[in-house]
A and B are shown apart, each in its own frame.
Chain A
Amino acid sequence: MKGLKTLTRMFIFPVCVLACYGIVCAIEPHKALIAMKTSGNLLLYIALPLVLVFVIMLALNLFVKPAQIVGLFGKGLRIKGIVFSAVAGIISMGPIYVWYPLLKNLREEGAGDGPMAIFLYTRAVKPFLLPVMIAYFGWLYVVILTVLTVFASIATGCFMSVLMKK
Chain B
Amino acid sequence: MKIAISSEGSNLNAQVGHRFGGSPYLIIADLGTGNFEAVPNPGSLGQHGTGVQTIVLIISKDVKAALTGYCSPAARRHLEANGIEIFTGLSGTVGEVLESYKKGEIQKTEAATIEREPGKRVVNKAILIHAMKRSGNQFASMLPIFLGVVLLIGLLNTFVSRNFLAALFSGNPVLDTLLGAFFGSILAGNAINSYIIGGELLEYGVSLFTVTALIITWVTVGLVQLPVEIAALGRRFALLRNGICFILSIPIAIITVFIVNLVTR
Q: Does B240 contact A (CB under 8 A)?
A: yes
Q: Does B229 touch A at the CB level, under 8 Å? A: yes
**B residues near A155, Cβ cutoff 8 Å:** 248
Check if B35 is an interface residue, CB within 8 A of chain A: no
Most buried by B among A24, A31, A152: A152
Q: Is B169 an interface residue (CB 8 A)?
A: no
What string of 1s and 0s marks CB contacts (under 8 Å) between B198-233 and chain A? 110010000010001001101110100100110111
Residue B138 CB within 8 A of the other chain: yes
Does A62 contact B229, Cβ atoms closer than 8 Å?
no
Q: Count the B residues whose beta carbon is within 8 Å of the partner chain — how many?
A: 70
Whether A149 lies near B145 (C-beta < 8 A) is no
Chain B residue with Cβ nearest A65 = B89
Q: Select A137's contact among B158, B199, B220, beta carbons within 8 Å.
A: B199
A57 contacts B135, C-beta separation under 8 Å: yes
Shortest distance from the beta carbon of B130 to any chain A beta carbon, whole Å: 8
Contact partners of B192 in chain A: CB under 8 A: 53, 126, 129, 132
Taking CB atoms, residues of chain B closer than 8 Å to A94 are 138
Q: Is the CB of A140 within 8 A of B155?
A: no
Q: A42-B150, A100-B228, A132-B195 are in contact. Are A67 and B69 (CB under 8 A)?
A: yes
Residue A20 interfacial (CB < 8 Å): yes
Chain A 101-140: CB-based contact to B (< 8 A → 1; otherwise 0):
1111111010001001100110110100100110011001
Q: How large is the interface on A (under 10, 10 to 19, 20 to 34, 35 or more residues)?
A: 35 or more
Residue numbers in B under 8 Å from A62 (CB-CB): 112, 123, 127-128, 131
CA–CA, A123 and B231, complex, Å: 20
- CB-CB under 8 A from A107, the residues of chain B are 232-233
The reply to whether A43 and B219 contact each other, CB–CB distance below 8 Å, is no
B248: chain A residues within 8 A (beta carbon): 152, 155-156
The 7 closest A-B pairs by CB, nearest first: A39-B154, A14-B148, A136-B199, A100-B232, A67-B70, A35-B154, A124-B219
